[in-house]
Structure 1
Amino acid sequence: MKDVYQFYGFEFRWLNVIDLLIVIFLVIQLYRLLKGSLAFNIFIGLLMVYAAYFAVRSLQMPILTNILENFINVGLIAIIIIFQPEIRKFLLVLGKKTPLSKDSFFTKLFLPDRFKSYKEEENIINELITAVGHMAASQTGALIVIATTYRVKFDTASSIAIDGNVSAKLIESIFEKNSPLHDGALIIVGNKILAAKVILPVSENPNLPTRIGMRHRSAVGITEHSDNLAIIVSEERGSVSFAKDGQLVQNVSLEELKVKLYEVLVDGI
């Protein structure tokens, strides 16, 4: 069977087409991953260095060629070090696209838990919505992180272990303004409140609105490199927001938040 074709004098194979499609897919995923982040500017800078190298080499400028060539020789190691969080998230995105990922049709169709009852997840969602609604009405600031695929890494020295069931009353008491635990984030893993007063990494995304505070920036920061959902209640305005995949969605209603929680805790299983 003929697998090499000619088009206007150029030869190509179907594998070349597949090769090109894979590269396009990877470039699109890489763009979505880096778009709007500080790493995107670093990536553009690296591309400019490579472009400069090819330019000075074609112009036969030996000194600059040697300098840039030595820089490029260690470029791969530098890229791995600089983009370590982005590479981890990129692999996580690719993992979601595989036939055996939890979001795939194959998994949802053939795994035995497809008929599972989601009463526990629904109860957690209702408790969260109740707590968020009460805190928004009283303008009580809060930051809640829901870990979906793995445990959140955080500083255990500054946090307080809770290990309690998810309940609206417990969440509200933790974020009550006179509570010693109200600063920092609350971490929920599975059906348990794991810890409170957790210090989270702050996002360095320059495209975030300048008016948002540390709670919102921390929510974006913890979701930039992990598959988590962060819920924020503004102390100043009583508004509700959430962050997912490094994207901040502000001023959502309780119904919109409930839909997002179902998407993360139920549809994502």
Structure 2
Amino acid sequence: MDMFQFYGYRFNWLNILDLSIVIFLVIQLYRLLKGSLAFNIFVGLLMVYLAYFLVQALGMPILTNILQNFINVGLIAIIIIFQPEIRKFLLVLGKKTPLSKDSFFTKLFMPDRFKSYREEENIINEVITAVGHLSARHTGALIVIATTHRVKFDTASSIGIDGNISAKLIESIFSKSSPLHDGALIIVGNKILAAKVILPVSDNPNLPTRIGLRHRSAVGITEHSDNLAIVVSEERATISYAQDGRLVQDVSLEELKIKMYEVLVDGES
């Protein structure tokens, strides 16, 4: 009892409430990040914090000081590392009114509602992984993320897939030895709908003259729809995306991931 009093903790309802809220928030954060790329980083940071409280309780001043400085400096690193996750969190927080049935507070106290975003996050992670590998191998690709089930394309020349979204499947489709590597891959919902799809080519005279057919097709499919088209250049291994008839070239995987969050998460709000 003396130790708890020394460190400012007492067995009263306010301290119990304080500890319960902290435990609850950590559990929700764990459930939100589970299965994402940031999960291992989250576990590592949690271990550092637990080590800090342990050495502080044991009265080890040197380690306490070192870990305290690490935590203070690490706050900036956390903001950088968790930028997509923080952005998704703020999108959920900002887009919902406090008292609506889909409000942030409703989601917070009903953690199962976060499952609706886990599916989108899985799609994003699989596509990002595939795009990164394709770019590293100088393998061209054109991926269309359809935000509506009314996406229109030429079904006569395409090959129906109706498969689960996975990085390995996407990479195998665009492999240079694959008969499906020409044309576009269409993703609708949580499925790869079709491959080898011929898309309309944009005739926008303002597009750069050096871009190829994949980039012009990416712009063409987004000129009259709200789809997102992702392009990997076979020649330059660069990554681009098209949206609303505009082409954004030479983006990083992190920038593409943020754009996909905007389309798949923020776009649903």
Alpha-carbon offset, residue 109 of structure 1: 6.4
Mark the CA change 1:138 to 1:192 in structure 2 (over 3 Å): closer, same or farther.
Answer: same
Q: Which amino acid aligns with 2:232?
A: V
> In structure 1, which of residues 105, 110, 114 is the aligned counterpart of residue 100 of structure 2?
110
Aligned residues: 166
Q: Is the 8 A contact 1:144 1:186 kept in 2?
A: yes
Q: Aligned letter for 1:196?
A: A
What does 1:35-50 correspond to in 2, within 5 Å? none
Q: How does 1:113-132 map to 2 (within 5 A)?
A: 115=107, 116-117=113-114, 118-132=117-131
Amino acid at match of 2:133: H
Are the aligned partners of 1:233 and 1:240 in contact in 2 as well (CA < 8 Å)? yes
Q: Once the 2 structures are TM-superposed, how far is the Cα of residue 150 of structure 1 from its aligned partner?
A: 3.2
Q: Which amino acid aligns with 1:234?
A: S
Any residues of structure 2 matched to 1:1-269 within 5 Å, and which? 110-112=100-102, 115=107, 116-117=113-114, 118-269=117-268
Taking the aligned partners of 2:248 and 2:217, their CA distance within structure 1 comes to 14
Instruction: Give 2:132's aligned amino acid.
Output: G
8 Å CA contact retained: 1:185, 1:200: yes
Describe the shift of the 1:260–1:162 C-alpha distance in structure 2 as closer, same or farther (beyond 3 A).
same
Q: What is the distance in 2 between the residues matched to 1:107 and 1:200?
A: 39
Q: Is the 8 A contact 1:151 1:189 kept in 2?
A: no
Letter in 2 for 1:204: D
Q: 1:207 to 1:190 in 2, by over 3 A?
A: same
Quote how far apart the aligned CAs of 1:106 are: 7.2
The TM-score, its normalising length taken from structure 2, stands at: 0.59
Q: Deviations over 1:146-194 (max 9, x none)?
A: 0113331111110000000110000000000010000000000000000
Q: Per-residue CA shift, 1:209-239, capped at 9, x if unaligned? A: 0000000000000000001000000000100
Relative to structure 1, is the Cα distance of residues 256 and 105 closer, same or farther in structure 2, using a 3 angstrom cutoff?
A: closer
- Where does structure 2 lack aligned partners over 5 or more consecutive residues? 1-93, 108-112
Residue 62 of structure 2: aligned partner = none
1:186–1:196 contact (8 Å) kept in structure 2? yes
User: In 1, Cα distance between the equivalents of 2:255 and 2:240?
Assistant: 10
What letter matches 2:203 in structure 1? E
Q: In the superposition, relative to structure 1, how do residues 112 and 160 fare at CA in structure 2: closer, same or farther (>3 Å)? A: same
* Preserved contact between residue 143 and residue 232 of structure 1 (Cα < 8 Å): yes
Q: Is the contact between residue 242 and residue 248 of structure 2 (CA under 8 Å) also seen in structure 1?
A: yes
Aligned residues with identical type, % of pairs = 78
RMSD: 1.8
SS at match of 2:152: coil
Matched residue of 2:179: which SS? coil
Q: Distance in 2 between matches of 1:121 and 1:133?
A: 18
Q: Classify the secondary structure of the residue corresponding to 2:267.
A: coil
Write the distance in 1 (CA, Å) between the matches of 2:172 and 2:133: 11
2:98 and 2:146 map into 1 onto residues whose CA distance is 21
Q: Distance in 2 between matches of 1:224 and 1:107?
A: 32
